[in-house]
Structure 1
Amino acid sequence: MRKAQAADVAAVRQLVLDAYQPWAEVIGRPPMPMEADYEVLVAEGRVHVRDAPDGIEGLIVLIPEDGVLLVDNVAVRPDRQGRGVGRSLLAFAEEEARRLGLPALRLITNVKMTPNIALYASLGYAETGRDELDGRFVVRMRKELAG
């Protein structure tokens, strides 16, 4: 894992578009990560990428907040999905939260992304609420880290 650099912005954008395009069709509009400003997020050091010999295979956007680390986006190249890349990115997020002294992680996902919700639940994230955010129906989840 490494922090994305300015030279990675185009590849980061493309990976996000490729990863989320099927969900845009399910949801009926682009998921929020498709509309994020990756130039700014990369410049702020929020985007972490996992490299493969043929380019970036996954990324995670992490934003420290008061008492929690926000997992703002997890994206895996479609040809690498189902191979544990997403799980490794989420494990990295836990390491980062611990390194930063934050006792929990939180994330938001669309209610229609049921496979993702199931993955998060299997990794110890608990649902904390459902509501509307920017015209999208979302599930809020949180994971407390053991001491």
Structure 2
Amino acid sequence: MAQEREEWEERIRQAVTADVPAVRAVTDAAYRPYVERIGVVPRPMEADHAADVAAGKVFVTEAPGGPVVGVAGLVVLEAFADHLFLDSVAVHPDAHGRGVGRRLLRFVDAHARALGLPEVRLYTNAMMWENQDLYPRYGYEVVERRVDGPYDRVHYRKRLLRGVS
């Protein structure tokens, strides 16, 4: 069991062109429940997944079996001079409760450190209450709340200490 868990944790990799349909499917499944609540389609559902994969922005984790076979979760990242932007984190609903999101967030921290960046930034819709409970538990602090077009967003950052997640 420990061996299987370690292998699962190591399965985060950069997405390739063949992953685009799975990236689209996982993103849609993860964000679809929010459409009615927030009254608009979440931006990650409208992203150009093929372009993001081609640009090297998407990292996926695969499930070793169980209810999800193939891509179980993903992150979309963009590096800037002073931070790593976590554009999207999506976990397929069938993989909830298996630690996929936690491992992806740890990967984001490690990736930012590997790039020499001191912090991770992200935002979430103000109507996605679950995220507002989740991100502070992983070290993120609220920076501001801002309306961008139809999106009411809460912006977060996580300052990274060297060698600590």
User: Is there any run of 5+ residues in structure 2 with no aligned partner, and where?
Assistant: 1-11
Match among 34, 38, 52 for residue 49 of structure 2: 38
Q: Is contact 2:85–2:120 with CA below 8 Å preserved after alignment?
A: yes
TM-score w.r.t. the length of structure 2 is: 0.87
Mapped pair 1:26 → 2:37: yes
Corresponding residue SS for 1:79:
helix
Local SS of the residue matching 2:18: helix
User: Where do 4+ consecutive residues of structure 1 move more than 6 Å?
Assistant: none
1:46-75 per-residue CA deviation (whole Å, 9 max, x = no partner) reads 000001131100000110012100000000
Match for residue 19 of structure 2? Answer: 8
Aligned position for 2:157: 142
How far does residue 84 in structure 1 lie from its aligned partner after superposition?
1.6
Would you say the 8 A contact 2:40–2:150 is kept in 1? Answer: no
In the alignment, what sits opposite 1:125? 140
Q: In structure 1, list runs of 5 or more residues that go unmatched.
A: none
Residue 58 (structure 1) aligned to one of 55, 73, 89: 73
Q: Percent identity?
A: 47
Cα distance in structure 1, aligned partners of 2:149 and 2:58: 22
Q: Matched residue of 1:14: which SS?
A: helix
Which segment drifts farther, 115-124 or 99-108?
Answer: 115-124
The correspondence for 1:70, drawn from 85, 88, 93, is 85
User: Which protein shows a greater Rg?
Assistant: 2
Secondary structure of the residue aligned to 1:124 is: coil
TM-score, structure 1 as length reference: 0.97
Distance 2:24 2:36 in 1: 18
1:93 corresponding residue in structure 2 = 108
Inter-partner Cα distance in structure 1 for 2:128 and 2:89? 13
Secondary structure (helix, strand or coil) at the match of 1:59 reads strand
Q: How many angstroms does 1:83 deviate by?
A: 2.3
